[in-house]
Amino acid sequence: MIPSAHAEALNVLHWWTSDSERQAADRLVRQLAAQGVEWHDDAIPGGGGGAAIKVLTGRVLAGEPPDVAQVIGRTLTDWAGLGLVRPLDDVAQRGHWRQVMFPVVLETVSRGGHVMAAPLGVHRINTLLVNHHVLEQLRLKPPRTWAEMEAAAKVMRAHHVTPLAWSDEPWQVATVFETVLLAEGGPRLYAELASTTGWSSWQDARVVAALKRLRWLRDLDDEPTTEEPWTSATRRLQSGAAGMLIMGDWARGELQAWGEHAGLDFDCVAVPQTAGMHLYSIDTLAMLVGRNAHRAEQEHMADILAQPATQMAYNQAKGSVPVRTDIDPAQLDACARDSWQTLARPGAPLLPSITHRMAAVESVRDAIGEVLHRFVRTPGVTPQQAQAQLLAIVRGAAP
């Protein structure tokens, strides 16, 4: 249903505030405006979305929710269970979402058989970005194994290049850790660790191995312990001050945004020992139930967000890939094409991000981040002690 020319603007709360995120959001605004839907922007700064979730929760509790909000993963399903989110079954049926979207996407945005949000794009968390110029100058290739990464780091250090850009901000540490969990433990163990009933798997010796690897990776950055926005670490990679960065592929979107002005010189591969696997986070916008009924406008927005042209416009700026199976992957760059093709490959391990709300509620996500934050900043905390703390968190949250 198309809103009238005098329809009220839809208030959209989100945390897309970096250069590339803003470009992606602006592309959505233009696509929507062309079809008669007005986006009233309510952006809340803060990497990882923690601040935005707090603001959103406060507004909902006060009875003044936005019309649309960036609500994802477990947070989405929990809010849907409380009746706070408008189902989009009619929109999904009209748009044939079940025929044209990746099954993992529909599973993520559904609860009790109902579609509860409009999916925008799929991010790959297990992404290693490398400065192409640095590697070329040092005659290195993007590392595919930890041994290759150790060898590359040794060469970089010898030439006064920081091997790995880093930030001690809790959600960023946790982002690196979950990719290492996948690398060290493999997809089967990671799936158990991400399950709400798999708490006993956190006792596995491979969790200790992942913690040891995490500390080794932190030591690849010679900068004093610091908490910086993820964009600062990405700037260090872009400038050549650091040779590598482990970050979700939204960092790729940021490098592309800067590349329009500062030159584009990076490559990306899967984090060592995770090739062919996809650790995912899915961007979604939920239509919230409020006192003022804007159902027609909300449904029309959801329909536009799923359209192929909107999907391509958004994801090419954001660094993620479309949620649709019917796009032409030739329109994607090499990094995005590998991500999309991994999603499309039958039997490929597709694993939900713990840090980015796909497999953990907000409280568990935050608690894990704080444990890992203390671990990398406090040499006296042993991997075994950190493992015990992580086990206690997930065991306490188990059903």
Query: Which domain covers residue 185, as residue numbers?
Result: 127-278+351-397
> Does pLDDT of 260 surpass 60?
no
Q: What is the pLDDT of residue 1?
A: 35
Mean pLDDT, residues 236-250: 96
Indicate the range of 98-107, 225-234, 372-381 predicted with least confidence.
Answer: 225-234
What pLDDT does 261 receive? Answer: 47
Identify the pLDDT of residue 49: 83
Question: Does a structural domain hold residue 4?
Answer: no
Same domain, 201 and 232: yes
Answer yes or no: do 187 and 318 share one domain: no
How many structural domains compose the chain? 2
CA distance 284 to 311: 12
Are residues 43 and 90 both part of a single domain?
A: yes
Q: How far apart are CA 102 and CA 17, in angstroms?
A: 27
| 389 lies in the same domain as 248 | yes
Distance CA(279)–CA(3), nearest Å, equals 38
Q: State which of 323, 344, 365 marks the end of a domain.
A: 344
CATH classification of the domain holding 160: 3.40.190.10
Q: Do 377 and 235 fall within a single domain?
A: yes
Q: What are the CA-CA distances from residue 218 to residues 17, 185, 295 (Å)? A: 26, 19, 48
Q: Mean pLDDT across the stretch 356-368? A: 94
Mean pLDDT value of segment 335-343: 96
- pLDDT of 48 higher than 80: no
Name the residue type at position 136: E
**Are 54 and 107 within one domain?**
yes
Based on the domain organization, do 391 and 289 belong to the same domain? no
Residues 241 and 380 in one domain: yes
The reply to whether 381 falls in a domain is yes
- Cα 380 from Cα 81, distance rounded (Å): 42
Confidence of residue 6 (pLDDT cuts 50, 70, 90): low
- Kind and range of the H or E element at 239? helix 230-239
The answer to whether residues 221 and 313 belong to one domain is: no
Q: Answer whether 327's CB lies under 8 Å from 308's CB.
A: yes
Q: CA–CA separation, 324 vs 338, rounded Å?
A: 15
Q: Are residues 292 and 392 in the same domain?
A: no
pLDDT > 70 in the chain, percent: 96
CA atoms within 13 A on the CB side of 209: 13
| Mean pLDDT value of segment 283-312 | 93
* Higher per-residue confidence, 293 vs 198: 198
> Is the pLDDT confidence value at 196 over 90?
no
pLDDT band at residue 236 under the 50/70/90 scheme: very high
CB 273 within 8 A of CB 100: no
Would residue 139 count as lying in a domain? yes
The secondary element (H helix, E strand) that includes residue 215 is helix 205-218
**Residue-level pLDDT at 2:** 41
Mean pLDDT of the region 170-194: 97
DSSP secondary structure letter of residue 381: S
Q: Which amino acid is at 60?
A: V
155 and 191 share one domain: yes
Domain for residue 1, yes or no? no
What count of other Cβ atoms lies within 10 Å of the Cβ of residue 399?
5
What pLDDT score does 220 carry? 95
5 inside domain: no
Highest mean pLDDT among 70-74, 80-84, 366-370: 366-370
Q: What is the pLDDT of residues 57-71, one digit of tens each?
A: 999 888 889 999 999
Q: What's the mean per-residue pLDDT of the chain?
A: 93
Asked whether residue 195 falls in the same domain as residue 253, the answer is yes
- Tell me if 362 is assigned to some domain: yes
Average pLDDT of the segment spanning 296-317: 96
Q: Is residue 3 part of a domain?
A: no
CB 294 within 8 A of CB 8: yes
Mean pLDDT of 258-276: 82
- Mean pLDDT confidence for 153-170: 97
